[in-house]
Amino acid sequence: MSHHLRPTTAPRPDRTATLLAVLLSILAFVVGTPAHAADAPAHFEPKRLVFHPDTEQLEVEVVNDGPAPLRIDGFELTGPERHAFAVAEGGDATTVPPGGRHRIALRVERGAFEAIDEATGRRTGKFREGRARLRVKLREAAGAGSATDQAIGLPLRFEAPSWVSAYLVPAVVKVLVLVMLFVMPLASLLTWLERKQSAMMQDRVGPNMAGVTILGKRIRVWGLLHIAADGLKMLFKEDLVPARVHKALYNLAPFLAFVPALAVFAIVPFGDALCYGQLGEVLSQADVDQCAAGRGGTPLQVAQIDVGLLFYFAIASLASYGTTLAGWASYNKWAMLGGLRASAQMISYEVAIGLSIVGALLCYGTLEPHALVKAQSETYWGIVLQPLGFLLFFAAAMAETKRTPFDLPEGESEIVGYFLEYSGMRFGLFFLGEFVEIVFMSAMVATLFLGGWTLPLDMFGASGFTSPLWAQLFFAGAGALLVLVGVSALRASPHAEIVGIVLTLIGAIHLALSAWSIFTGWGTALPHGLVIVVGMVTWGVKVALLCWLQLLVRWTLPRFRYDQLMKLGWRGLLPLAIANVVLTAVAVYFLMPGKDFLP
């Protein structure tokens, strides 16, 4: 009796060495990051002040980093444009205790930078740039009767960027990064993951046959090429249009279902803020807040709207028109029933979604998603303050995506669905739009209830980890998990060699960083670029896990009957959402009287 043993495939040394060299270069950049200058007794927060025509006065703080009190003896403005700037408040001599802060308000005379028309002598409304520097004289007591005079400087800049450079170009770049590098790839990956996960839960093989032949070798990549196969099939499949459809609305419906699902991503923050030209520096929260306001940087959010959540409801509600029109314009009774079910379901559960958010608004006092995340980082995550609101929002959000157990509008065993008469890429828009909605709803749950890009327990801030212990625990835990997954991938399949090697090496570097932090205390002063990466990865992991959870529910629970679906929305979720609003309002009124938004 012969035994067929699969030979063990060892990682190739040259490939491993190359990957290790690349990852070690990244490690050298991270570990070799400079912190605040050690020779200065104090520093400014933010490191520089950027004025715009609409910001006449800004504040900066002098932070005493030394063990002894600091005496501020005076201020001096230098530079070619020094006469346009002035100290408005905090200019008197004072003493700052160790670890203390002294706030200074600076104002700018914007008229000094405004161009004047030589012919008419009138102001043109156009501004030029200007620079100056604030010099603060410090006296540090070094002992009885002795003192050391020092000074620190703060760069001041006045700028008036054009609308194109300040808003349009950053918005286009952020749209490309968010949509093309995250949303669409993740939505496409979910189409494969759903089939693969259902196969695993039902003890089937799942998608694994699509592949390409390169140099005589068949490459399948665990069935991931099914994503490309589906896309090509939808693009080139014959597009059949029934004869009696309403052609204008029939063609418009897929776009009304797909475009709003992408448009609402404009309000989703996927990081704090990006500061131009400071990726290698250690920044404070004041620096990042200035960049988030659009001065010297940009928030990692396509559109920062004060009523951002209202924008979400306004745009997302348009998707119901797409499903309704798809059923009506198809001139098919089964599609018509699916469209009616979809519109009734989406309208019913939008009410529950809106009320489930109100509790979080009462706790944090803002409708702007970026501000909501910042408020959670300063207090508690929404899931702690609003556990019932989290459950209600998540359940209603799943109903909004029209997926099992809420897939009544497209139940194959009943009415087939509102897109029954669609084929080709028109059907593809409905199909992919559903997964884009999954990603968006996961992003909204992460933003409203899971702290967005922040890590729990106030362990990570604008300058890095809040203590070396948090850095050690974070890198040790992440490293152990990555090594475990990498080794498992290597043992599972010879086709997972590269993935297993990369994950194992990255995990080893995490463990090395944890050991480095134990001996040096590293981790509390990280470069701004690395902080941005950690925040974006944290947000992405939360969104991906919530997407996976929705897929898990989809293959776990059976479909509701339609009467059960409507009863759950109107007689279940809605009363609970109203009760949550009332209880939250009472709790906020009696337990949080210091909030600014309370009377």
Tell me if residue 3 falls in helix, strand or coil. coil
Closest of 323, 278, 272, 324 to residue 300, by C-alpha? 272
Band (pLDDT 50/70/90 cuts) for residue 514 is very high
Q: What is the DSSP letter of 282?
A: -
Which residue among 125, 160, 195 closes a domain?
Answer: 160
- Kindly state the average pLDDT of the residues 478-486: 92
The residue whose two tokens read 């060699």 is 497
Band (pLDDT 50/70/90 cuts) for residue 148 is low
The total domain count for the chain is 3
- Give the pLDDT of residue 18: 54
Q: Are 104 and 62 in contact (CB under 8 A)?
A: yes
Domain assignment present for 411: yes
Domain assignment present for 19: no
Tell me if residue 89 falls in helix, strand or coil. strand
* Whole-angstrom distance, CA of residue 195 vs CA of residue 451: 30
Q: What is the pLDDT of residues 213-232, one digit of tens each?
A: 888 888 777 788 888 888 88
Of 99-113, 197-211, 304-318, 447-461, minimum mean pLDDT range: 197-211
Q: Which of the pair, 498 or 161, is modelled with greater confidence?
A: 161
- Give the pLDDT of residue 238: 84
Same domain, 71 and 217: no
Same domain, 108 and 211: no
Same domain, 140 and 122: yes
Q: Does pLDDT of 75 surpass 60?
A: yes
Q: What is the pLDDT of residues 363-394, one digit of tens each?
A: 998 999 999 999 999 889 999 999 999 999 99
Burial degree of 176 (CB within 10 A; 0-12, 13-18, 19+): exposed
- Give the pLDDT of residue 4: 44
Alpha helices in 401-496 (DSSP H): 424-449, 468-492
Same domain, 458 and 535: no
Same domain, 417 and 340: yes
Tell me if residue 30 falls in helix, strand or coil. helix
Same domain, 323 and 458: yes
* Whole-angstrom distance, CA of residue 20 vs CA of residue 31: 16
- Give the pLDDT of residue 206: 83
Q: Are 86 and 106 in contact (CB under 8 A)?
A: yes
- Give the pLDDT of residue 387: 94
* Whole-angstrom distance, CA of residue 590 vs CA of residue 314: 33
Same domain, 273 and 219: yes
Same domain, 269 and 364: yes
Q: How far is CA 514 from CA 158, 524, 541, in A?
A: 42, 12, 21
What is the number of other CB atoms lying within 10 angstroms of the CB of residue 285? 16
Tell me if residue 9 falls in helix, strand or coil. coil
- Kindly state the average pLDDT of the residues 504-525: 92
Same domain, 199 and 225: yes
- Give the pLDDT of residue 562: 86
In sequence order, which residues have a C-beta less than 8 Å from that of residue 271 and are 6 or more positions away? Answer: 300, 453, 532, 535, 536, 539
Domain assignment present for 173: yes
Q: How far is CA 96 from CA 71, 102, 285, in A?
A: 6, 7, 20
* Whole-angstrom distance, CA of residue 553 vs CA of residue 541: 18
Domain assignment present for 1: no
Tell me if residue 553 falls in helix, strand or coil. helix
- Give the pLDDT of residue 146: 43
Helix and strand numbers (H, E) in the chain are 19, 17
Q: Does pLDDT of 417 surpass 90?
A: no
Of 162-166, 205-209, 317-321, 379-383, minimum mean pLDDT range: 205-209
Domain assignment present for 34: no
- Kindly state the average pLDDT of the residues 322-335: 91
Strands 146-158 and 49-51: parallel
Q: What is the pLDDT of residues 279-319, one digit of tens each?
A: 999 999 999 999 999 999 999 999 988 888 999 988 988 88
Q: Which of the pair, 236 or 122, is modelled with greater confidence?
A: 236
Strands 101-108 and 123-127: unpaired
Q: Are 511 and 483 in contact (CB under 8 A)?
A: yes
Band (pLDDT 50/70/90 cuts) for residue 141 is low
Burial degree of 68 (CB within 10 A; 0-12, 13-18, 19+): middle
Parent domain of 294: 167-239+246-462+550-591
**Burial track 99-138 (b if 16+ CB lie within 10 A, e otherwise):** eeebebebbbebeebeeeeeeeeeeeeebeebebbbebeb
Domain at 72, CATH number: 2.60.40.10
Q: Does pLDDT of 576 surpass 90?
A: yes
Provide the token pair at 411: 């139940």
**Mean of the per-residue pLDDT values of the chain:** 86
Domain assignment present for 347: yes
Q: What is the DSSP letter of 280?
A: T
* Whole-angstrom distance, CA of residue 425 vs CA of residue 255: 11
Of 132-146, 269-283, 343-357, 467-481, minimum mean pLDDT range: 132-146
Same domain, 394 and 507: no
* Whole-angstrom distance, CA of residue 443 vs CA of residue 316: 14
Percentage with pLDDT > 90 across the chain = 51
Q: What is the DSSP letter of 404?
A: T
Task: Give, for 17, the enclosing helix (H) or strand (E).
Answer: helix 13-31
Please tell me whether the overall predicted TM-score, pTM, comes out greater than 0.95 for this model.
no
Same domain, 197 and 144: no
Task: Give, for 257, the enclosing helix (H) or strand (E).
Answer: helix 247-263
Mutual orientation of helices 319-329 and 247-263 as an angle, nearest 10°?
A: 160
* Whole-angstrom distance, CA of residue 65 vs CA of residue 99: 6
Q: CA 584, 589, 593, 595: dihedral to nearest 10 degrees?
A: 50
- Give the pLDDT of residue 217: 80
Q: Does pLDDT of 45 surpass 90?
A: yes
Domain assignment present for 365: yes
Strands 57-64 and 101-108: antiparallel
Same domain, 154 and 225: no
Domain assignment present for 13: no
